[in-house]
Structure 1
């Protein structure tokens, strides 16, 4: 079991649900949901790395589960893997239209199931490393139109609007976004590999660096204008990021 990699499995066949959990337990922390309704609730509460859903669920169908998850800003970044006994083209196309990234057709081998999900998670990590961003740019992926990019740009814009407010914190940001603190923490860590606190601090410091290049600004004014109340903490944080003090940075870029 790996608590840092988690997958939500939505399957009404309890025997199959337990079997899937057993196959994946060496690589993932597995959360089980026995219905589409319960799966949607758990997806919002837990925001797992991956979601696996059976298309032939009673009540809310697997397709409807996928649609609901992709319409929800809190969960639309999570890759969906569907399990189906159906292989006709219409069913496949409907799934692709709701954001499905992997299909597994019953019956499947445990080796294939494990390999598909492990590889998918590894690909997610590679993409995150490749397209990881500077906070100020706000571009979370190669495609600026992607849901993750749009969400990150929205978050960055909110932080910038409140850049001079020292009381602006994770709780404030979560309220502005419309998420719980935990949802925001989970989503930002997934799409940008940063906690909300790290992102807020990065944007404050990157804004400070930009201001320090201006000839009319001094270190004290910049410190307070980007929301730092303690000049010593500002200087310490700035040095950690830029490997020089604010005064050294200012002198270098004004010479």
Structure 2
């Protein structure tokens, strides 16, 4: 399994192509290799270990395959905590309405009929990846955007709510760190890191800080404009540390945000 440092060094989006046709695998992987970190599997049964071992950001899967077909693979991904955030594009020669409905019910994010054009496939891939990047950036940069905005499944939403609830329940622990969060979440560090990184493009440390800062932003919007009190309520050791972190993430000081909120309320 790749270590955290290796995952961080990955620059191209990781794409898993699942198809029982070696010709399709060779064709797509060769064409995609310049823009994506491409992995392949010949059926859903082979795909699942790859998904757990590699940093995969999107799956392109055929539907009709031996052992575990595309519908079942899609369902397994969407029902597995560590994988449920991954978008899935299903490729199939089944062009009936019933097949399309079955794919959507299984949790597919897009459904493309064979034969397909590469241009269409690439457009779907880029749209799915780009839309998620925008949501992640909005969450990380805005004091008021809720973490649920980056969830793409009920399982992701429940996971993110559990993390935020856990951090908020331990705000008084000024030394709350990733190791402590892993214990509280009953998850290993690699598993917690991979899940948070995949959903948000952030580290668990970032999520801890952002949860503290967004709590402070909520307090500001509720009328508490004393920076010293805000720092203490958010679990920071000092107002200086609070100010530095607030500016680091939101590109404005707490005082500037207070002025912004005050002007909006006038």
Is 1:91 the counterpart of 2:99 in the alignment?
A: yes
Unaligned runs of 5+ in 1: none
The 8 Å contact of residues 16 and 59 in structure 2, kept in 1 or not, is answered as yes
Pick aligned residue for 1:103 from 98, 111, 123: 111
Is 1:155 the counterpart of 2:163 in the alignment?
A: yes
2:62 match: 54
Distance 1:23-1:113 versus aligned 2 partners, 3 A rule: farther
CA distance in structure 2 between the aligned counterparts of 1:204 and 1:71, rounded to whole angstroms: 30
Pick aligned residue for 2:75 from 67, 70, 83: 67
1:114 match: 122
What pairs with 1:137-176 in structure 2 (closer than 5 Å)? 138-141=146-149, 146-176=154-184
The 8 Å contact of residues 36 and 59 in structure 1, kept in 2 or not, is answered as yes
TM norm structure 2:
0.74
Aligned residues: 248
RMSD of aligned alpha carbons: 3.7
Q: Alpha-carbon deviation of 1:83?
A: 1.7
Pick aligned residue for 2:37 from 22, 29, 38: 29
1:203 match: 211
The 8 Å contact of residues 151 and 199 in structure 2, kept in 1 or not, is answered as no
CA distance in structure 1 between the aligned counterparts of 2:106 and 2:29, rounded to whole angstroms: 24
CA distance in structure 2 between the aligned counterparts of 1:145 and 1:222, rounded to whole angstroms: 33
Q: Alpha-carbon deviation of 1:199?
A: 1.7
Q: Alpha-carbon deviation of 1:26?
A: 2.4
2:53 match: 45
The 8 Å contact of residues 197 and 203 in structure 2, kept in 1 or not, is answered as yes
2:3 match: none
CA distance in structure 1 between the aligned counterparts of 2:31 and 2:176, rounded to whole angstroms: 44
Distance 1:152-1:138 versus aligned 2 partners, 3 A rule: farther
Unaligned runs of 5+ in 2: 1-9
Report the more deviating stretch, 45-54 or 187-196: 187-196
TM norm structure 1:
0.76
Report the more deviating stretch, 74-83 or 36-45: 36-45
Pick aligned residue for 1:9 from 4, 7, 17: 17
Q: Alpha-carbon deviation of 1:177?
A: 3.7
The 8 Å contact of residues 9 and 31 in structure 1, kept in 2 or not, is answered as yes
